[in-house]
């Protein structure tokens, strides 16, 4: 048994047989509870019993929806990661101007960040870098998404270079650098998310990345 992709919140569970709808709702409740607990205490410090109790289901019920503890975790992370990926790709594919595409890309990260704060928190506290180690297979999925994202970014840079908008540097490196800067800023924002609400903190990241730090 391997769980189907995450189904949370904004999914259209509109016109489905009631049974199906109930199932989906239960699944969602379990995921929300698990997310909360994992983020709070860490994967290994949360037991299935705790999740079940907090979610007000029997443990058995969790196993209806998820093959095992790790699967539950995977769905939690991968679900958000894929949603994130889709949003990012959409932005990059919509805006034909490379410069504005990069700006939009940066901007959308902020939105996604605040929309998914709990998962982000979980991600940074346990996943960042293959939590389940190399042989879990699941971290590989995550790395693949990251790679696709960076490559997509690189392709935008490539166009921008051809159009003489960007300097003639290795596009992949540019993408990687952008990725790193955003990552560092998001981590910082996560440590104290309230502080950053006023002005979009990532705009600083954009400024530095795009303009460089040396005075001309």
Q: Which of 127, 137, 1 is nearest to 68 (CA)?
A: 1
Q: What is the DSSP letter of 76?
A: H
Q: Which is nearer to a copy of itself, 4 or 211 (CB)?
A: 211
Q: Which residues contact 25 (CB under 8 A, 6 or more apart)?
A: 13
49 binding DNA? (CB under 7 A)? yes
Subset of residues 58 to 87 that bind DNA, contact rule: CB under 7 A: 58-61, 63-64, 68-70
Residue 46, burial from CB neighbour count under 10 angstroms (0-12, 13-18, 19+) = buried
Q: Does 92 bind DNA (CB under 7 A)?
A: no
102-131 footprint of a copy of itself as x/- string (CB under 8 A): ---------------------xxxxxxxxx
**In the complex, minimum distance from the CB of residue 92 to a copy of itself, in angstroms, rounded to a whole number:** 16
Q: Which is nearer to a copy of itself, 7 or 84 (CB)?
A: 84
Contacts by 83-86, CB closer than 8 A, 24 or more apart: 83/6, 83/116, 84/112, 84/116, 85/145, 85/148, 85/149
Are the beta carbons of 31 and 8 closer than 8 angstroms?
Answer: yes
The residues binding a copy of itself (CB under 8 A) are: 40-42, 44-45, 99, 123-135, 157, 164-170, 173-174, 176-177, 179-185, 187-188, 204-205, 207-216
The residues binding DNA (CB under 7 A) are: 19, 22-23, 26, 44-49, 52, 56-61, 63-64, 68-70
């Amino acid at each position: 048994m391997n769980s189907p992709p995450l189904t949370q919140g904004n999914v259209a569970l509109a016109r489905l047989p009631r049974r199906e709808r109930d199932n989906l709702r239960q699944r969602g409740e379990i995921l929300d509870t698990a997310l909360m607990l994992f983020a709070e205490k860490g994967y290994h410090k949360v037991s299935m019993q705790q999740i079940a109790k907090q979610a007000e289901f029997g443990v058995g019920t969790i196993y209806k929806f998820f093959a095992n503890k790790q699967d539950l975790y995977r769905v939690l992370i991968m679900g958000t990661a894929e949603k994130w990926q889709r949003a990012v790709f959409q932005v990059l594919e919509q805006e034909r101007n490379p410069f504005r595409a990069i700006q939009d890309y940066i901007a959308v990260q902020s939105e996604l960040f605040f929309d998914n704060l709990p998962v982000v928190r979980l991600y940074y506290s346990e996943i960042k870098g293959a939590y389940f180690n190399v042989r879990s297979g699941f971290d590989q999925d995550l790395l693949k998404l990251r790679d696709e994202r960076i490559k997509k970014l690189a392709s935008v840079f490539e166009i921008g270079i051809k159009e003489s908008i960007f300097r003639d540097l290795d596009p992949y490196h540019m993408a990687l650098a952008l990725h790193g800067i955003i990552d560092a800023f998001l981590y910082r924002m996560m440590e104290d998310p309230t502080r950053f609400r006023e002005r979009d903190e990532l705009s600083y990241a954009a400024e530095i990345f795009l303009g460089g730090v040396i005075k001309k």
